[in-house]
Structure 1
């Protein structure tokens, strides 16, 4: 097994212990006149300024998203660990999930129980929801205690450090399932919202992920949602990220008590508001 830093990541993979080198200074390029098209999205609206979206606009010839290395994230409150560990998996609402602290607003949860996924026999509640980035809008609303129609009161009144993030990968989620349409679903925004772009066939899922990655300002993934049908076994979880050492110790104790082996990593930046949203 590779050596780990004090935050629980393999040596070289922690941005705190192993910060990337400062880029070499380059002469500023000459200003280039922009066309009106370069400042609008496909819908004709200017790209939205969103929390965490300090990324430059992605050019059409930008590198493709490496889907094999793509991480996915499931956020939950630490008090929800016992039923998750008892089940040995992250469960969908319709598959028997019993959160002690429910992050979803009651009306939003009920709506997802009746919102059909086009091209399948399922509703949104038949899936475990995942974020595609830790800068996701809904998670940033939790971190900044900002009201959001998708979130219940407990989600925005609890301290961000009381949450944990299950980190898996697209490869693990789709292993052996990609050939079955509707087992992995990607939507460009909340999957329960009528009119949002949704992909259910694996080829379409890959194409939509690439498009979201290339959206202007690189913010397409911030509002997107990935859904895994029924459950994601804990064996497919690469690590559990936490905000600080006391939470790490509690999580490790609960894992040991349940007989579950999983890496726990301390990574504070994922639990702090972005610079822009804090201003």
Structure 2
């Protein structure tokens, strides 16, 4: 089936918005269609001529400090832009009603009441006691987001593969019966960058002991940069982005769905409560992919 692109330049009832890409974002804001430019490579300096025998020590070129080339490259890398880094919350379409009723995507310990629970009971119980590194909180105090639409846990649902983190119901239902709430790192953190633990990023399942994590805003940005610059993207597919307590609906930039049937259902639910979040049909995000086992 050919992916159906969102309508461009229009919104119901005459509201005008900027042109959108196939993922539902304004032109220039999609990290997939408009990837950030990589920094230009620095020109390689020519080697200094070899000093003649007997030349004074002062005339000789300074010795290269070990690691200086790597440090220079690191400094030249452009910092990650939190406005273009997308985060993805996968849930079942049946769970959209309580989310709309709350006006936000709630964390487990903040009162989330999923109709179809994607988390396995043991996994949910464990996250209620698993501490978050560097913060006086547990994982269940946070709304979980993925950093890739090819994340291992989401692909387990797409392929119907049993996973200890997922309920049997989650992997037995068709992938297209789920929806993906898309936001950005900047939308999630808002103006709360001074408070450590407002958002947390981990390089693997947040409830797993010994995972790399960052909770202070500068450290969060640095870890996101490292995850996005890895060539194979393996850790990006395992990583989690956690948002403390809730994500208000107005910070959801897009709801991605797998087919027209679910799109119509989602739009009807949004209209019923007067929410005007974009809805985009994009089947590739809901189709299974063959991948290597998660490390």
Instruction: Give the TM-score taking structure 1 as reference length.
Output: 0.78
The answer on 1:134 being equivalent to 2:149 is yes
Distance 1:263 1:198, change over 3 A: same
1:72-112 deviations in whole A, cap 9, x for unaligned? 10000000011000000000000000000000000000000
| Counterpart for residue 212 of structure 1 | 227
- The answer to whether the 8 A contact 2:80-2:225 is kept is yes
- Segments of structure 2 that go 5 or more residues without pairing to the other structure are 9-18, 34-72
Q: Contact 1:105–1:151 (CA<8 Å) still a contact in 2?
A: yes
The alpha-carbon distance between structure 1 residues 91 and 161, as it changes in their structure 2 partners (threshold 3 A), is same
The answer (yes or no) to whether the contact 1:177–1:184 under 8 Å persists in 2 is: no
Give distance in 1, aligned partners of 2:117 and 2:189: 26
2:22 and 2:279 map into 1 onto residues whose CA distance is 13
> Which SS does the other structure have where 2:206 is aligned?
coil
- Residues of 2 paired with 1:95 and 1:9: CA distance? 35
RMSD after superposition: 2.4
CA contact (8 A) 1:213 1:219 kept: no
Instruction: State the secondary structure of the residue aligned to 2:241.
Output: strand
Contact 1:214 1:220 in 2 (8 A): no
Mark the CA change 1:15 to 1:106 in structure 2 (over 3 Å): closer, same or farther.
closer
Distance 1:118 1:276, change over 3 A: closer
- On the 8 A contact 2:142/2:244 being kept in 1, the answer is yes
Quick one: distance in 2 between partners of 1:196 and 1:68? 25
Name stretches of at least 5 consecutive residues in structure 1 with no aligned partner: 21-58
Partner of 1:29: none
Equivalence map 1:77-92=2 (5 Å) = 77-92=92-107
For residue 5 of structure 2, what is the aligned residue in structure 1? 7
Give 1:185-224 correspondences, 5 Å limit.
Answer: 185-224=200-239
* Matching residue within 256, 259, 273 for 2:271: 256
Name the CA shift for 1:101/1:62 in 2 (closer, same or farther; >3 Å).
same
Moved more, 229-238 or 62-71: 62-71
- Residue 274 (str. 1) matches residue 282 (str. 2): no
**Does the Cα contact within 8 Å between 1:188 and 1:220 map onto a contact in 2?**
yes
Largest Rg, 1 or 2: 2
The two structures have a TM-score, normalised by structure 2, of 0.74
For the residue of structure 1 that corresponds to 2:155, the secondary structure is helix
Distance 1:80 1:263, change over 3 A: same
Structure 1 runs of 4+ aligned residues shifted over 6 Å read 59-63
What CA distance in whole angstroms lies between the structure 2 residues aligned with 1:276 and 1:189?
17
CA deviations 1:249-271 (Å, max 9, x no partner) are: 01111111122221111011000
